[in-house]
Chain A
Amino acid sequence: MGKLDGKIACITGGTRSIGRAIAEAYLAEGATVVVNGRDEAKGKQCLTELNAGKRAAFYAGDASLQSTVEGLIDYTIKTYGQLDICCLNSGGVLMTAPIAQMSDEEWKLEVDWNLNHVFWGMRRALNHMIPRNYGRIIVTSSVEGKLGKPGIAGYATTKHAVNGLVKSVAREVGTLGITVNAILPGLIETDIVRDTGPASAIAMGLESYDAMIGLFTQESALKRPNKVEEVAAVAVLMATDAARNMTGCLFPVDGGTMPY
């Protein structure tokens, strides 16, 4: 008996790292999960590793594209008949330049991936959830949704924006049985941080990737990076029926980094 028995969830960017940990935690609690990612091969491997049979599916596509985000939600509803939990989790640091050197093209890519993807996903999901008077929308924001950092302004800007979206939408649908929340993880050494971290470190004026990890870690009270499982546990709590009064909440999982 799980806390999410019979619930249907979809997760953007769910084949690895935080999204993957959320998928595993949801499956363990009895939910059915559709994960998304860009890479078909990684998706297939993910399904093999999840080993959940018909309770897990993969939907391929780039989460910075409207067609992917809406396609994932439509596919989930078509395949499983409903969508109870929508995790808009994909995102990352694309632009690693000071604003003075930022190009329009890079800026737009970052906004599409981190902000528009969440908007497109929420809108599509809400149109399904509102008539059902039930739903859980869980957005992966970031400690940079509350703090600025030099060199990654696009990331900090879009994560701040996502927090504004979460708070506004929570108030729009508060009486309709739908909660809308954000999780704000501190640094986690995910695959994507390992991929983009070296460039971020240079943009932040730091010597190396390790120096960046050290800086983030030192800013926390725990003096260590966070873990994907710690984020997944909060995502489970928010997804349960019991969390019906938690909405518009920006929930930090950052080892005591944020001042508020």
Chain B
Amino acid sequence: MGVLDGQVACITGGTRGIGLAIASAFLDEGANVVINGRDAAKAQRSMDELGAGDRIHFIGGNVKKREDCEAIVNGTAAHFGRLDILVPNAGGGSDYAPIAQMTDEAMQDALVWSFWHTFWTMRAALNLMIPNNSGRIIAMSSVEGKMGKPGISSYVVAKHAINGLVKSAAQEVGTLGITVNALCPGAIETDIMKQDGPGAAQAMGLTYEGLLEVFANDSAVKRLNEVQDVANVAVLLASEAGAGITGSLISIDGGTSPY
């Protein structure tokens, strides 16, 4: 018996890192889960490891495309018959640079990847949730959704925008049984961090190890976070006990954010 028995969740970017940890936690609590990613082989390996049989399903697609975002959300409802929980979790950036040197393409890429994908999936999900008078949207923001950092402004801007979207959406659907919240994790050494971190570090004038050290030292606990820390909060927000929490930007950052 889990707190999410019979619920259906859709997680973008769910084949690894934070998204996979949330998928695993949701499955443990009895939910059916759709994960998304670009690489079907990687998804299959993740699903084999989870060993959840028919309760997990993969829908491929690139969240930087609106049609794919809509297909992931609507495909979840088509596959499992409903959609209760949306976790727009994918996101990131590329070609990080100080603003004076930042290209239009780099700013655009971060906005599309993190912010537009959240908007596209949220809109599609709300159109399914509003008629049901029930739903949970849990967007993946970041400590950078509350704080600025030099050299990674595109990421900071996109995550701040997600927080604004979450707060507005929460006010729009507050009386309709739908909650909308954002999770703001501190730095976690996920695959994507290992992949994009060196570029971000260079834009910040640091080595990759130096970057991780800066993040850890900004926190009260002086260490990085872990994906499981984030998944636990996602379960709470998704559960019935989380019904009174909406429009919240929950920090899971070891005491980094000032508010």
Q: Are A240's CB and B232's CB within 8 A?
A: yes
Q: How far is the CB of B174 from chain A (nearest CB, A)?
A: 3
Interface residue B226 (Cβ < 8 Å from any Cβ of A): yes
- Say whether, besides A174-B221, A223-B174, A223-B175, A252 and B248 are in contact (CB < 8 Å): yes
Q: Which residues of B contact A229 (CB under 8 A)?
A: 241
Interface residue B198 (Cβ < 8 Å from any Cβ of A): no
Binary interface encoding of chain B residues 226-246 relative to chain A, with 1 for a CB under 8 A from any of its CBs, else 0: 101100110010010111111
Q: Which residues of A contact B219 (CB under 8 A)?
A: 174
Q: Are A233's CB and B247's CB within 8 A?
A: no
- Say whether, besides A221-B170, A242-B229, A230 and B186 are in contact (CB < 8 Å): no
Q: Are B174's CB and A230's CB within 8 A?
A: no
Q: Are A245's CB and B225's CB within 8 A?
A: yes
- Say whether, besides A167-B258, A171-B255, A242-B232, A226 and B244 are in contact (CB < 8 Å): yes
Interface residue B133 (Cβ < 8 Å from any Cβ of A): no
A251 to B153, CA, bound (A): 26
Q: Which residues of B contact A233 (CB under 8 A)?
A: 236, 239, 241-242
Interface residue A196 (Cβ < 8 Å from any Cβ of B): no
Q: Which residues of A contact B171 (CB under 8 A)?
A: 221, 256
A249 to B186, CA, bound (A): 12
Q: Are A174's CB and B244's CB within 8 A?
A: no
Can you name the residue of chain B whose Cβ is closest to the Cβ of A185?
Answer: B244
Q: Are A248's CB and B236's CB within 8 A?
A: no
Interface residue A44 (Cβ < 8 Å from any Cβ of B): no
Q: Are B254's CB and A221's CB within 8 A?
A: no
Q: Are B221's CB and A221's CB within 8 A?
A: no
Q: Are A170's CB and B248's CB within 8 A?
A: no
Q: Which residues of B contact A248 (CB under 8 A)?
A: 220, 251, 255-257
Q: Are A255's CB and B246's CB within 8 A?
A: yes
Q: Are A230's CB and B220's CB within 8 A?
A: no
A229 to B241, CA, bound (A): 7
- Say whether, besides A171-B220, A259-B167, A243 and B246 are in contact (CB < 8 Å): no
A167 to B256, CA, bound (A): 10
- Say whether, besides A221-B170, A233-B241, A240-B232, A245 and B221 are in contact (CB < 8 Å): yes
With a 10 A CB-CB cut-off, give which of A175, A230, A242, A246 has the most chain B CB atoms: A246
Interface residue B65 (Cβ < 8 Å from any Cβ of A): no
Q: Are B221's CB and A230's CB within 8 A?
A: no
Q: Are B226's CB and A245's CB within 8 A?
A: yes
Within 8 A of B (CB), among A122-149: none
Q: Which residues of A contact B241 (CB under 8 A)?
A: 229-230, 232-233
Q: How many residues of A contact B (CB 8 A)?
A: 39
Select A245's contact among B174, B239, B254, beta carbons within 8 Å: B254
Q: How far is the CB of B167 from chain A (nearest CB, A)?
A: 7
Interface residue B70 (Cβ < 8 Å from any Cβ of A): no
Select B255's contact among A174, A223, A230, A258, beta carbons within 8 Å: A174
Q: Are A221's CB and B232's CB within 8 A?
A: no
Q: How far is the CB of B159 from chain A (nearest CB, A)?
A: 15
Interface residue B109 (Cβ < 8 Å from any Cβ of A): no
Q: Are B244's CB and A249's CB within 8 A?
A: no
Within 8 A of B (CB), among A199-233: 220-223, 226-227, 229-230, 232-233
A245 to B223, CA, bound (A): 9
A256 to B247, CA, bound (A): 5
Can you name the residue of chain B whose Cβ is closest to the Cβ of A240?
Answer: B232
Q: Are B255's CB and A170's CB within 8 A?
A: yes
Q: Are B220's CB and A174's CB within 8 A?
A: yes
Can you name the residue of chain B whose Cβ is closest to the Cβ of A242?
Answer: B232
Q: Which residues of B contact A171 (CB under 8 A)?
A: 220, 255
Q: Which B positions have Cβ atoms within 8 angstroms of A?
A: 167, 170-171, 173-175, 179, 186, 219-223, 225-226, 228-229, 232-233, 236, 239, 241-259
- Between A and B, 18 residue pairs with Cβ closer than 8 Å are A173-B220, A186-B244, A222-B244, A222-B246, A223-B175, A230-B243, A230-B244, A233-B236, A233-B241, A245-B226, A246-B229, A246-B252, A247-B221, A250-B259, A255-B245, A255-B246, A256-B248, A258-B247
7 A-B pairs with least C-beta separation: A221-B174, A174-B220, A256-B247, A248-B255, A233-B241, A230-B244, A256-B246
